[in-house]
Structure 1
Amino acid sequence: MILQRVSIFFFLLISIAFVSCDAQNPFDTGPVYDTAGNLERDSLLIVEYLETADIDSLYRIHDPSGIVIIVQEEGVASRPNSGNVVYTNYVGSLMSDGSVFDTNIENIAIDNDIFVEGRDYDIFSFQLGAGNVIQGWDIAFRRLRSGTKAKLIIPSPYGYRDSENNDRIPPNSILIFDVDFKGMD
């Protein structure tokens, strides 16, 4: 009787172990994104870029997140808080080669061959902290006063990470956004 119970126990134990190693396990989501490693790599590339880039600025903010904010014209209004709606014009480009991948300014879209017929090229708005934009924007815009013109350098973990959904943005790209913070509600 004891031998039979021990056999059943080991059979159940082996069955559980075998099932948990199933290649179709829904809890196996693949490799985990290496945020710390990518931030470390990106910070070195950003430092190297800033040493050679000729960028006019009033001052630079090196946020603890790794985002660099280069203020080119200082606004005089207040800074936004979570829940504020931010209004801005922007041009997004890759730090690696300067190619423009997105903008809300029609003539810049046309000049960079990224114009999309029927797209709304008005001032872009988003609610700060609502997760409607990349995390880098939620971090950087908190540091800007309304009316500011700045260049945001965003490490890949606060941009599109290792996403392969946009053929203009390679995985783990460091992004640069030229922003003109028009105002907020």
Structure 2
Amino acid sequence: MASKKHFSTGFSLVEVLVSVVVLGVGLLGAMSLLLASARTSSEAATFTAAVNLVRDLSEKARMNHAIAQRDDASNGYLVEGWTEGAAPGSMGLSCIASNVACDAAQLAAWDMREWQLRVAAALPDARASVCFDESPWSDAAGAYTWGCSGTGRSLVVKLGWTGRGADDADKPASPRLVMQMAPGQPQDGQHGS
């Protein structure tokens, strides 16, 4: 009598468990990549909104350059250390109606108030400074700073907000965006273009 050997085809329970573990690890990796991608996309959208806000204010200041180039209290665009929780600038006149006559200083104050409201709505925990600064982009260590020298020809916007990522809590509270808004008056007898 001949013996017949039966070979089992299919998977054993151990093989199935190993494949489930490998699949689970792969799915967890894919989920973490998806979450990191969503966080990065959200932060990029916030940064784009900040750049657009600064660009908008810069265009308004360039249209009202007689006020924006002044380095004194009559410059309604100057604000230091404004935070989202603080009240925006004084309401003054609403300069958008066709029958309202705003002078340049009133227009600057109105522009800044409207801009601060838009910044507060668009950026989480927003902070802003608009000031004249000789070296606005970094300190000796290469980091952005909130402080303004109050001198120089560059009217700059320093804008910061709280990031949505978990690692943002460890970062120092420094501006995330620093951009020149408009050139100021010439200093030391120089002539601007």
Using structure 2 for the length normalisation, give the TM-score: 0.32
Q: Which one has a larger percent helix, Structure 1 or Structure 2?
A: 2
Larger radius of gyration: 2
Using structure 1 for the length normalisation, give the TM-score: 0.33
The higher-RCO structure (CA 8 Å, 6+ apart) is 1
Q: Which one has a larger percent strand, Structure 1 or Structure 2?
A: 1
